[in-house]
Structure 1
Amino acid sequence: MTRARDIVILGLSLSSSWGNGHATTFRALIRGLAASGHSVLFLERDVPWYASQRDLPSPDFCTLAYYNAIDAMIVAHGARLNEADAVIVGSYVPEGQELIDRLGRLRPRRLCFYDIDTPVTLACLEKGEEPYVARRQIPLFDIYFSFSGGGVLERLEHRYGARKALALYCSVDADRYVNTKEPLRWDLGYLGTYSADRQPTLERLLIEPARRLPDHRFVVAGPQYPREIEWPANVERIDHLPPSEHPSFYSRQRFTLNVTRADMVAAGWSPSVRLFEAGACAVPIISDDWRGLSDLLPDGKALVIARTSDDVVNALTKMDDEKRQRIGQAARREVLANHTGLARARQMTSALAMLDQDPPATMTTYPKFDSVRRM
């Protein structure tokens, strides 16, 4: 076990999970850090959207502080930022570029980035867009923790100059995500905020099967779906589910559907938190296909990969309960072994421990790299 560390995280939101997968990711990770004896200060920009939808305003596993402006935050927390073992900035933080520059000038012991949106980040950088981190800033971080693994890590190091790029996938809180043993209510369900690039897959893998199977029950939970979507009569809609209700939601499904953003499909090795949540609840998962998925949950053993509406219909109508339950239990074993918040906390702190003998990155020391190199 590595020594106890003091970590400061500046992330999009910890307090509100409304339309925000970052919150559940940070909660599982920080709970794992706390259980391992580490202390965490989470600094969250106080923005109206999350302030009006907070479902965890005062966590008991870390210190959560809100700020309204970067200058005021630096004044209030500068000493902690300087003394912490690591300062970690998350993706999509408001005024991210300015925040990273200001933190760099403070010269913290370790400055890291946790990209919970790596495929989106790289797609933006390819187009010359820099919404929350600039290309010039990537070499400044001691570690670039990435939500995506595989070849994306080499791309971050060789093309964008990351000093050290490491996969830190999302994770699940194993104590909170267990099957509730409630009676089954739906044959297939999906949990996710509306996304235009996911919608065609949702149409193919849930809405069309619902049309073909009018005697089966379906559900879609999540906000921001356009009113003009024509839901079949056997598809129930739930606008929002707080994380506390996720285990019950999954447990009442015969199967649950996982649908992946287009950028993440293109990148590969980019599992969503919903994949691990459902797996922890031992609910059989039907998922769209992407590179690296079977490395995490083997197809046919720990989940079912569906490419067409027929694949979903066949799973719902032809798979017997014994096999269905066997797949769900295999997913749970895999998730508990490798994808809990405690496992991610150990990965993060082990990576930080490896840096102890290295000089920290600074705002004036850049590693050499070929800015136009193509992978």
Structure 2
Amino acid sequence: MNITLFYHSILSDWNHGNAHFLRGVVRELEERGHQVKVYEPKDGWSLQNLIEGYGEGKLEELKTYYPNVSTNFYTLDTLDLDKELKGADLVLVHEWSEHELVKRVGEHSKESDYKLLFHDTHHRAITERESMAKYDLSNYDGVLAFGQVIRDLYLKEGWTEKAWTWHEAADTSVFYPHERKPYEGDLVWIGNWGDEERTAELHEFLINPVKELGLKAKIYGVRYPEHARKALADAGIEYGGWLPNYKAAEEFAKHKVTVHVPRRPYVEALPGIPTIRPFEAMACGIPLISSPWDDAENLFTPGEDFLVARTGEEMKKHLQTILSDADKAKELAEHGLQTINNRHTCAHRVDELEKVCEELGIDSSKIYLVQKEQVLHEE
């Protein structure tokens, strides 16, 4: 297939978690023989923050992990959809895109043969419903939603007639168990502070347990206000600032345990959506302990793939267990890793996307290129 993707950025993951999944999906699609073009807005805020804070050298570093990563910059006033979408079989437009772009691509699709999907990977459909309702999806063939509750909402609100659940997953070309050298610390956490959406939770399930247990810990992320940095320092936690996502696996290998602290909207209104961080951690073979969230879609087996701490005190107990019992830590890490490899890689998600394409009526000879080539080779 010729596939065109409109996203906020594939180059930058500065406060932009969608780049994690997008990179893995694009690589998997290309490995299967599909032709993929990614478009992102010129001067997008994530890429600009990355360059201003860390320099353009980070873009060269990215290519050492993703050699074939490339993008096309656009501005709304110069974007020629006739030219850019010529020959496309499938077009995906991400929910962080401008309302005007979403509408224009939809209108363009009426006179074209490609199939058009809207991809939603955020909680705004719940928390900012009025803004999301303004997206004109009337000409879209459907919605890919990163959780069942989001999918159901699109259908209930009448924003689309077709929707599929398409969870994020781990890019196992980068997220896999790296060689463990002498540990540099006990605990590592990678995540942004997040608009005060989980301040109390971060104190209860991360900062306070680390302080009270006297652990050697390091935290990476952006948008940490002064009071947050002060709390980390008071707990003896090293703050590492922004960490390129492709380096996270290397950091996991230097520590004994990590935790997952979901933002409040995911806990309260979006059951079944863990966000991408737990997928990536388990893919790296590091023991994971999570604060409470409802695995309503049975993605994992809580207690076997990761431990669940319902309170700060329980988090402390779980941390003590993992740090003192090497066999238990290994068992937990291996179970989580196996679940990822069996069910939750970008390859699995591309399998799901190909089935959606078939359901939409795209010619199967365009969809299943790898399988077709394998059959010819075997014959």
Per the alignment, residue 126 of structure 2 pairs with 122
Distance in 1 (CA, whole Å) between partners of 2:100 and 2:350 is: 27
Q: How does 1:220-299 map to 2 (within 5 A)?
A: 220-229=219-228, 230-231=231-232, 232-265=234-267, 266-292=269-295, 295-299=298-302
In the TM superposition, residue 300 of structure 1 has moved relative to its aligned partner by: 1.3
Inter-partner Cα distance in structure 2 for 1:186 and 1:213: 13
1: CA distance between counterparts of 2:83 and 2:207? 53
Q: Secondary structure at the match of 1:183?
A: coil
Q: 1:73 aligns with which of 72, 75, 79?
A: 79
Counterpart contact for 1:282–1:328, Cα < 8 Å: yes
Match of 1:20 in 2: 16
Please give the alpha-carbon distance, in whole angstroms, between the structure 1 residues aligned to 2:259 and 2:300: 14
- How far does residue 308 in structure 1 lie from its aligned partner after superposition? 1.0
User: Structure 2: how far apart are the matches of 1:23 and 1:209?
Assistant: 31
Report the 3-state secondary structure (helix = DSSP H, G, I; strand = E; otherwise coil) of the residue aligned with 1:140: coil
CA distance 1:71–1:143, shift in 2 (3 Å): same
- Residue deviations 1:324-346, cap 9 Å, x none? 11111111111111111111112
CA contact (8 A) 1:169 1:271 kept: no
Residues 133 and 159, structure 2, Cα contact 8 Å, conserved in 1: no
Which residue matches 1:174? 172
SS, match of residue 192 in structure 2 = coil
Higher helix fraction (1 or 2) = 2
Instruction: Point out where structure 1 has 5 or more consecutive residues left out of the alignment.
Output: 359-375
Within a 5 Å distance, the mapping from 1:177-216 to structure 2 comes to: 177-180=175-178, 181-195=180-194, 196-214=196-214, 216=215
CA 357–7 in structure 1, closer or farther in 2 if over 3 Å, else same: closer
Whether contact under 8 Å (1:17, 1:242) holds in the other structure is yes
In structure 2, stretches of 5+ residues that fail to align are 52-57, 364-379
| Residues in 2 aligned to 1:207 and 1:73: alpha-carbon distance in whole angstroms | 47
1:303-341 CA-partner distances (Å, limit 9, x unpaired): 011121111110122341101111111111111111111
- Letter matched to residue 4 of structure 2: V
**AA matched with 1:279:** M
Q: Is the 8 A contact 1:264 1:270 kept in 2?
A: yes
Q: Partner amino acid for 1:26?
A: L
Q: 1:72 to 1:294 in 2, by over 3 A?
A: closer
Q: TM-score by structure 2 length?
A: 0.84
Per-residue CA distance 1:268-296 (angstroms, 9 max, x = gap): 11121111111111111111222226822
SS in 2 for 1:83: coil
Please give the per-residue CA displacement for 1:330-363, whole angstroms capped at 9, x wherever unaligned: 11111111111111112112101111179xxxxx
Where 1:106 maps in the other structure, the secondary structure is helix
Match in the other structure for 1:361: none
Name the amino acid aligned to 1:333: Q
Deviant stretches of 4+, over 3 Å: 54-63, 133-136
What SS does the aligned partner of 2:186 have?
strand
Query: Number of residue pairs matched?
Result: 341
- Look up the match of 1:328: 333
Conserved? CA contact 2:106–2:140, under 8 Å: no
Give the corresponding residue for 1:105. 107
Letter in 2 for 1:254: K
Structure 1 residue 56, shift from structure 2 partner: 4.1
Amino acid at match of 2:160: A
Task: Please give the TM-score of this superposition, normalised by the length of structure 1.
Answer: 0.85
Matched, 1:37 2:33: yes
Structure 2 CA distance for aligned equivalents of residues 60 and 235 of structure 1 = 34
Q: How does 1:142-161 map to 2 (within 5 A)?
A: 142-149=141-148, 151-161=149-159
After alignment, is 237-246 or 55-64 more displaced? 55-64
Q: Output the amino acid matched with 2:210.
A: A
Q: Identity, % of aligned pairs?
A: 24
Give, in whole Å, the separation in 2 of the partners of 1:321 and 1:256: 15
- Structure 1 220/103 Cα, relative in aligned 2: closer, same or farther at 3 Å? same
Higher RCO (CA 8 Å, separation ≥ 6 residues): 1
Matched-pair contact (CA < 8 Å) for 1:178–1:282: yes
Which residue identity lines up with residue 73 of structure 1 in the other structure?
Answer: L
Distance in structure 2 (CA, Å) of the matches to 1:347 and 1:208:
41
In structure 1, give the amino acid aligned to 2:208: E
Q: Which range moves more in the overlay, 159-168 or 204-213?
A: 159-168
Q: Secondary structure at the match of 2:79?
A: helix
